[in-house]
Homo-oligomer: A and B are copies of this chain.
Amino acid sequence: MSPPETLPARWQGKTITLAHGAGGRAMRELITELVRPVFENPLLAPLEDQARIDPAVLDGGQLAFTTDSYVVSPLAFAGGDIGRLAVCGTVNDLAVGGARPLYLSCGLILEEGLPLETLFEVLRSMRRAADEASVSIVTGDTKVVGRGSGDQVFINTAGIGAIPPGRATGPAQVRAGDRLVVNGTLGDHGIAVLAARNELALQIPVESDSAPLNGLVEAMFAAAPQLRWLRDATRGGLATIANEFAQEGGFGLLLDELALPVRDPVRGACEILGLDPLYLANEGKLAAIVPAAQCEALLAAMRAHPLGREACAVGEVREASPGRVAVRSRFGGERILDLLLGEQLPRIC
C-alpha cells in the first residue's frame, strides 16, 4: 500500500484542536487515519508505544543514537520544508558520525488551529525524505499546545543507526597536511529560508540544499577508507564546524577563500545584507578531513554522486595556530575565522 497523496475528505478544511493531543479518540483517529498511513511501515504498524527492532540490523556494528528538534520558520521554503529538514538533519547527524541510518522517531508539537492540510503536507514531506534516505519512521508522539504557546509545528526526530566495524573517525586521526573538503556550495539553505520570510524586497533564485547525505557518505568511505573526520555544516555554517574541528582536535585549519564554493545569488544576497556565507546554515553539506594522498580519489567519488557534484578541497590542516581557523584571502593575507557569538539568523532549522 503506497502512502495517500491527498488528505482524506473528512479531514479537509479542519484544524488541529487541543483534543488531538489529549490521548482520547480524537488523537487516536488523527494517528491511525492521518499519520500512520503516511509513514506506513511494518515496525510502526502495531502502534505500540515503542518499536521493536531486531539487533541483526546492526550487522555487528556499534549502535549510533542522535536527536534534533526542528523549529524552522516559515514551515516551507524553496527546496524544502520542516518535514524534509527533520528527516534529513537527523539522517545526516548519523551519517557524518560514520553510521548507516536505520530508524527515526517523530515527535510532533502542534499549535491549536494548525490546518490539517499543512500537517498532512509536512508528514508527506517527511515520508518522501525518509524514502530518499532509506530509513523508516517507526515510533512517534503527538502533543498539542494552545494558540500562542507554540508556532504551527515543531518536530523532534531521534535516529538510530549502525556504525560498521572499523569506522573510527575523530580528532585523533587527523594529521598536519590533511585536506578539508566540502561537497558543494555554501549558504544556500540560510538564504532560501531568509528569502521565504518575505522580509527581503529581493527575489533570490536559491533553493535550500536540504538532502539526506548517507548515500554520499557511504561512497566517501568506500573511496577513502582513511577518511579522518566528518561533520555536517548546519547551524553556524562551515565556519562553525571548522572551528569545532580545530578546537577539539587541537590543530590549525587554513581555508582558501578562492576555493570556497558559493553561488552567485547567495554571494549577492550576503553582500547586500551584510552576511557571511561561511556562517550561513546548510542542510545538505558536509565537511570532511582526509589524508592528502586520498583527496583526489575522494573528490572523484564525491563528484560521481548527485549530492557531491560540486565537491572541492577548501583548506588544509596545519600545526601552526592550534585551535584556530584562518582564511587565506584572494589577496594572499590571512584573517581569523572565529565562532560567532550567536548566529546570523534565528530559527533557520
Chain A residues with CB under 8 Å of chain B are 17-28, 46, 48-55, 58, 61-71, 73, 93-94, 96-97, 99, 103, 105-109, 138-141, 143-146, 148-151, 154, 156, 158, 160-161, 163, 170, 231-232, 234-236, 240, 279, 281, 339-343, 345-348
Given contacts A55-B62, A156-B107, A342-B17, contact A23 B67 (CB under 8 A): no
User: Are the CB atoms of A48 and B97 closer together than 8 Å?
Assistant: yes
The chain B residue sitting closest to A231, CB to CB, is B49
Closest to A43 in B: B65
User: Cβ of B236 and Cβ of A50 under 8 Å apart?
Assistant: no
Contact yes or no, A24 B341, CB < 8 A: yes
Write 16 A-B pairs (CB below 8 A) sorted by A numbering. Answer: A20-B342, A22-B235, A24-B240, A24-B279, A26-B341, A27-B342, A50-B97, A51-B64, A52-B64, A54-B62, A55-B62, A67-B141, A71-B143, A145-B346, A150-B151, A158-B158
Is the pair B69, A236 in contact by a Cβ cutoff of 8 Å? no
A54 partner residues in chain B, CB cutoff 8 A: 62-63
CB distance from A198 to the nearest CB of B (A): 17
B71 in contact with A109 (CB, 8 Å): yes
Instruction: Give the residues in chain B near A340, CB-CB below 8 Å.
Output: 22, 24-25
From the candidates B46, B53, B156, name the one contacting A64 in the complex (CB within 8 A): B53
